[in-house]
Amino acid sequence: MKQLTHILWFISLCLIIVSCQKENRDQSELSLELPKIETEQVRNVTSSSAFGGGEITDDGGGEIMESGLCWSESNPPTTSDYKGVNYSGLNKFELEIKNLNTSSKYYLRAYAVNKKGTNYGSVVDFTTSRELTKTESIARLIVIETNKIRNELGLDALVETEIGNALAQYHSSNMSEYDFFSHTDNLGESVWERARRFGLVYSTLGENIARRGPYPSNPTAELVAKGIVKIWVDSPGHYQNMVSNSYNKIGVGVVFNEKNEAIATQVFYHN
Protein backbone atom coordinates (compact mmCIF):
# COMPACT_ATOMS: atom_id res chain seq x y z
CA MET A 1 0.00 0.00 0.00
CA LYS A 2 2.81 2.36 0.91
CA GLN A 3 4.54 1.55 -2.38
CA LEU A 4 1.34 2.28 -4.33
CA THR A 5 1.06 5.66 -2.60
CA HIS A 6 4.61 6.55 -3.65
CA ILE A 7 3.87 5.57 -7.25
CA LEU A 8 0.72 7.68 -7.34
CA TRP A 9 2.60 10.62 -5.84
CA PHE A 10 5.35 10.33 -8.48
CA ILE A 11 2.81 10.20 -11.32
CA SER A 12 1.06 13.28 -9.95
CA LEU A 13 4.35 15.15 -9.76
CA CYS A 14 5.19 14.28 -13.38
CA LEU A 15 1.78 15.49 -14.52
CA ILE A 16 2.27 18.79 -12.67
CA ILE A 17 5.71 19.29 -14.30
CA VAL A 18 4.34 18.49 -17.77
CA SER A 19 1.41 20.83 -17.17
CA CYS A 20 3.75 23.65 -16.09
CA GLN A 21 5.99 23.11 -19.11
CA LYS A 22 2.99 23.15 -21.44
CA GLU A 23 1.67 26.31 -19.77
CA ASN A 24 5.06 28.04 -20.15
CA ARG A 25 5.23 26.94 -23.77
CA ASP A 26 1.68 28.15 -24.42
CA GLN A 27 2.49 31.52 -22.84
CA SER A 28 5.62 31.78 -24.99
CA GLU A 29 3.68 30.99 -28.15
CA LEU A 30 0.97 33.49 -27.21
CA SER A 31 3.57 36.27 -26.89
CA LEU A 32 5.18 35.37 -30.24
CA GLU A 33 4.50 37.79 -33.09
CA LEU A 34 5.20 37.75 -36.82
CA PRO A 35 8.66 39.04 -37.76
CA LYS A 36 9.07 42.47 -39.31
CA ILE A 37 11.10 42.94 -42.48
CA GLU A 38 11.79 45.78 -44.90
CA THR A 39 12.34 45.46 -48.65
CA GLU A 40 15.31 47.26 -50.20
CA GLN A 41 15.11 48.95 -53.60
CA VAL A 42 16.12 46.78 -56.58
CA ARG A 43 19.31 47.84 -58.38
CA ASN A 44 21.61 46.81 -61.25
CA VAL A 45 18.70 45.58 -63.36
CA THR A 46 19.71 43.92 -66.63
CA SER A 47 17.75 42.09 -69.30
CA SER A 48 17.77 38.89 -67.23
CA SER A 49 18.94 39.68 -63.69
CA ALA A 50 18.79 42.17 -60.82
CA PHE A 51 19.94 42.63 -57.23
CA GLY A 52 17.44 42.96 -54.38
CA GLY A 53 17.65 42.87 -50.62
CA GLY A 54 15.88 43.04 -47.30
CA GLU A 55 16.45 43.76 -43.63
CA ILE A 56 14.82 42.00 -40.67
CA THR A 57 14.03 44.70 -38.11
CA ASP A 58 12.23 42.52 -35.52
CA ASP A 59 12.24 38.73 -35.07
CA GLY A 60 8.83 38.84 -33.34
CA GLY A 61 10.25 37.24 -30.21
CA GLY A 62 11.20 33.99 -31.90
CA GLU A 63 13.89 32.41 -34.03
CA ILE A 64 13.93 33.36 -37.73
CA MET A 65 13.54 30.06 -39.54
CA GLU A 66 13.92 31.45 -43.08
CA SER A 67 14.21 34.77 -44.89
CA GLY A 68 14.75 35.90 -48.45
CA LEU A 69 13.10 37.47 -51.47
CA CYS A 70 10.11 36.43 -53.56
CA TRP A 71 9.12 37.84 -56.94
CA SER A 72 6.55 37.43 -59.68
CA GLU A 73 5.09 39.17 -62.70
CA SER A 74 1.84 39.31 -60.68
CA ASN A 75 1.27 41.55 -57.67
CA PRO A 76 1.69 40.74 -54.81
CA PRO A 77 4.41 38.06 -54.95
CA THR A 78 4.47 35.30 -52.31
CA THR A 79 6.82 32.49 -51.35
CA SER A 80 4.69 30.23 -53.57
CA ASP A 81 6.09 32.16 -56.56
CA TYR A 82 9.78 32.44 -57.38
CA LYS A 83 11.94 32.92 -54.31
CA GLY A 84 15.56 33.21 -53.24
CA VAL A 85 16.59 32.19 -49.71
CA ASN A 86 18.97 34.19 -47.54
CA TYR A 87 21.53 31.63 -46.35
CA SER A 88 23.87 34.21 -44.79
CA GLY A 89 22.08 34.24 -41.44
CA LEU A 90 22.38 38.04 -41.39
CA ASN A 91 19.44 40.34 -40.72
CA LYS A 92 20.43 42.55 -43.67
CA PHE A 93 21.02 40.71 -46.92
CA GLU A 94 21.27 41.09 -50.68
CA LEU A 95 20.53 38.45 -53.32
CA GLU A 96 21.05 38.25 -57.07
CA ILE A 97 17.88 37.37 -58.99
CA LYS A 98 18.56 35.48 -62.22
CA ASN A 99 16.78 34.00 -65.24
CA LEU A 100 14.29 36.86 -65.60
CA ASN A 101 12.39 37.53 -68.82
CA THR A 102 13.58 40.46 -70.91
CA SER A 103 11.53 43.69 -71.08
CA SER A 104 9.24 42.48 -68.29
CA LYS A 105 7.80 44.13 -65.18
CA TYR A 106 8.35 42.28 -61.90
CA TYR A 107 7.09 42.72 -58.36
CA LEU A 108 9.37 41.81 -55.47
CA ARG A 109 9.29 41.82 -51.68
CA ALA A 110 11.36 40.47 -48.82
CA TYR A 111 9.96 37.86 -46.44
CA ALA A 112 10.81 36.34 -43.06
CA VAL A 113 9.45 33.26 -41.27
CA ASN A 114 9.25 32.33 -37.58
CA LYS A 115 7.02 29.81 -35.73
CA LYS A 116 4.16 32.33 -35.83
CA GLY A 117 4.19 32.40 -39.62
CA THR A 118 5.44 34.35 -42.66
CA ASN A 119 5.48 38.11 -42.95
CA TYR A 120 6.41 40.29 -45.92
CA GLY A 121 7.98 43.68 -46.51
CA SER A 122 6.56 46.26 -48.89
CA VAL A 123 6.34 45.47 -52.62
CA VAL A 124 8.76 47.15 -55.03
CA ASP A 125 8.60 46.82 -58.80
CA PHE A 126 11.24 46.90 -61.52
CA THR A 127 11.39 46.28 -65.27
CA THR A 128 14.09 44.28 -67.00
CA SER A 129 15.76 45.86 -70.02
CA ARG A 130 15.80 44.67 -73.59
CA GLU A 131 18.47 42.23 -74.69
CA LEU A 132 21.80 44.08 -74.45
CA THR A 133 24.48 44.25 -77.12
CA LYS A 134 27.90 42.79 -76.31
CA THR A 135 29.41 46.16 -75.38
CA GLU A 136 26.32 47.13 -73.33
CA SER A 137 26.62 43.84 -71.44
CA ILE A 138 30.29 44.53 -70.73
CA ALA A 139 29.46 48.02 -69.46
CA ARG A 140 26.70 46.68 -67.21
CA LEU A 141 29.01 44.01 -65.79
CA ILE A 142 31.65 46.67 -65.06
CA VAL A 143 29.05 48.54 -63.00
CA ILE A 144 28.15 45.33 -61.15
CA GLU A 145 31.80 44.44 -60.48
CA THR A 146 32.49 47.96 -59.24
CA ASN A 147 29.57 47.81 -56.83
CA LYS A 148 30.66 44.39 -55.59
CA ILE A 149 34.00 45.92 -54.60
CA ARG A 150 32.24 48.79 -52.86
CA ASN A 151 29.87 46.41 -51.07
CA GLU A 152 32.81 44.40 -49.69
CA LEU A 153 34.13 47.63 -48.18
CA GLY A 154 30.76 48.56 -46.69
CA LEU A 155 30.24 51.42 -49.17
CA ASP A 156 26.96 52.42 -50.80
CA ALA A 157 26.38 51.16 -54.33
CA LEU A 158 26.75 53.61 -57.21
CA VAL A 159 23.60 54.26 -59.23
CA GLU A 160 23.94 53.79 -62.99
CA THR A 161 22.44 56.67 -65.02
CA GLU A 162 21.59 57.13 -68.70
CA ILE A 163 23.40 60.47 -68.97
CA GLY A 164 26.46 59.00 -67.27
CA ASN A 165 26.48 56.08 -69.71
CA ALA A 166 26.05 58.44 -72.67
CA LEU A 167 28.96 60.63 -71.54
CA ALA A 168 31.23 57.61 -71.02
CA GLN A 169 30.19 56.02 -74.32
CA TYR A 170 30.89 59.26 -76.19
CA HIS A 171 34.48 59.36 -74.93
CA SER A 172 35.15 55.65 -75.57
CA SER A 173 33.80 55.97 -79.13
CA ASN A 174 35.98 59.05 -79.78
CA MET A 175 39.11 57.29 -78.49
CA SER A 176 38.41 54.41 -80.87
CA GLU A 177 37.47 56.53 -83.89
CA TYR A 178 40.30 59.07 -83.59
CA ASP A 179 42.89 56.60 -82.29
CA PHE A 180 43.96 58.28 -79.05
CA PHE A 181 44.02 57.26 -75.40
CA SER A 182 43.70 60.18 -73.02
CA HIS A 183 41.31 61.97 -70.70
CA THR A 184 41.64 64.95 -73.06
CA ASP A 185 39.64 64.25 -76.21
CA ASN A 186 40.19 65.01 -79.89
CA LEU A 187 38.61 68.46 -79.41
CA GLY A 188 40.91 69.28 -76.53
CA GLU A 189 38.10 68.95 -73.97
CA SER A 190 38.44 67.50 -70.48
CA VAL A 191 35.82 65.32 -68.79
CA TRP A 192 34.50 68.41 -66.98
CA GLU A 193 34.02 70.26 -70.25
CA ARG A 194 32.35 67.24 -71.87
CA ALA A 195 30.05 66.87 -68.88
CA ARG A 196 28.92 70.48 -69.09
CA ARG A 197 28.27 70.09 -72.80
CA PHE A 198 26.11 67.02 -72.07
CA GLY A 199 24.16 69.00 -69.48
CA LEU A 200 25.33 66.83 -66.60
CA VAL A 201 24.79 68.52 -63.24
CA TYR A 202 27.41 67.52 -60.68
CA SER A 203 29.22 68.66 -57.56
CA THR A 204 32.11 66.20 -57.95
CA LEU A 205 33.24 64.37 -61.09
CA GLY A 206 35.89 61.79 -61.97
CA GLU A 207 36.81 59.52 -64.87
CA ASN A 208 38.64 56.23 -65.45
CA ILE A 209 39.73 54.99 -68.87
CA ALA A 210 41.19 51.63 -69.88
CA ARG A 211 42.32 49.78 -73.00
CA ARG A 212 42.81 46.01 -73.00
CA GLY A 213 43.49 43.46 -75.71
CA PRO A 214 43.58 42.67 -78.55
CA TYR A 215 41.13 39.87 -77.89
CA PRO A 216 40.44 36.81 -80.03
CA SER A 217 37.18 36.98 -81.92
CA ASN A 218 34.00 37.07 -79.83
CA PRO A 219 35.34 37.17 -76.24
CA THR A 220 32.76 36.75 -73.49
CA ALA A 221 31.39 39.85 -71.81
CA GLU A 222 32.50 38.50 -68.41
CA LEU A 223 36.10 38.03 -69.58
CA VAL A 224 36.37 41.58 -70.93
CA ALA A 225 34.60 43.23 -67.98
CA LYS A 226 36.70 41.48 -65.35
CA GLY A 227 39.90 42.28 -67.27
CA ILE A 228 39.09 45.98 -67.48
CA VAL A 229 38.09 46.18 -63.81
CA LYS A 230 41.38 44.49 -62.86
CA ILE A 231 43.33 47.22 -64.67
CA TRP A 232 41.60 49.86 -62.56
CA VAL A 233 41.85 47.90 -59.30
CA ASP A 234 45.61 47.49 -59.82
CA SER A 235 46.04 51.25 -60.35
CA PRO A 236 45.83 53.26 -57.08
CA GLY A 237 44.40 56.40 -58.70
CA HIS A 238 41.73 54.55 -60.68
CA TYR A 239 40.88 52.35 -57.71
CA GLN A 240 40.38 55.42 -55.54
CA ASN A 241 37.73 56.67 -57.95
CA MET A 242 35.93 53.32 -57.72
CA VAL A 243 35.75 53.31 -53.91
CA SER A 244 35.40 57.03 -53.22
CA ASN A 245 32.56 58.31 -51.05
CA SER A 246 32.61 61.50 -53.11
CA TYR A 247 30.49 59.86 -55.82
CA ASN A 248 27.02 58.31 -55.87
CA LYS A 249 26.41 57.91 -59.64
CA ILE A 250 28.22 56.00 -62.38
CA GLY A 251 28.22 55.68 -66.16
CA VAL A 252 30.20 53.25 -68.33
CA GLY A 253 30.82 53.08 -72.08
CA VAL A 254 32.70 50.36 -74.00
CA VAL A 255 33.73 49.94 -77.65
CA PHE A 256 36.03 47.63 -79.62
CA ASN A 257 38.47 49.27 -82.04
CA GLU A 258 39.77 47.87 -85.33
CA LYS A 259 42.44 45.85 -83.46
CA ASN A 260 39.67 44.25 -81.35
CA GLU A 261 40.93 46.04 -78.27
CA ALA A 262 38.31 46.93 -75.67
CA ILE A 263 38.27 50.64 -74.81
CA ALA A 264 36.30 51.57 -71.70
CA THR A 265 35.40 54.78 -69.91
CA GLN A 266 34.00 54.99 -66.41
CA VAL A 267 32.43 58.28 -65.25
CA PHE A 268 31.77 58.97 -61.56
CA TYR A 269 29.85 61.92 -60.18
CA HIS A 270 27.71 63.25 -57.36
CA ASN A 271 24.68 65.52 -57.71
Say what the pLDDT of residue 53 is. 96
Between CA 269 and CA 102 the distance in angstroms is 29
Q: What is the pLDDT of residues 171-192, one digit of tens each?
A: 999 999 999 999 999 999 999 9
Distance CA 144, CA 242 (A): 12
Alpha carbon separation from 77 to 22, 42, 69 (Å, rounded) = 37, 15, 9
Neighbours of 200 (CB within 10 A): 21
Tens of pLDDT, residues 64-84 = 999 999 999 999 999 999 999
**Cα 187 from Cα 126, distance rounded (Å):** 39
* The residue type at 157: A
pLDDT computed for residue 191 by the predictor: 97
27 has pLDDT over 90: no
- Percent of the chain surpassing pLDDT 90: 82
In this prediction, residues 206-225 reach a mean pLDDT of: 95
31 — pLDDT class (breaks 50, 70, 90): confident
Measured CA to CA, the distance from residue 215 to residue 254 in angstroms comes to: 14
Q: For residue 217, count other CB atoms closer than 10 A to its CB.
A: 6
Residues in the chain: 271
Peptide bond into 76 cis (omega under 30): yes
The per-residue pLDDT for range 217-268, each reduced to its tens digit, is: 889 999 999 999 999 999 999 999 999 999 999 999 999 999 999 999 999 9
The strand pairing partners of 263, in sequence order, are 211, 255
Give the pTM: 0.60
The b/e string for 16-25 (b: 16+ C-beta within 10 A; e otherwise) is eeeeeeeeee
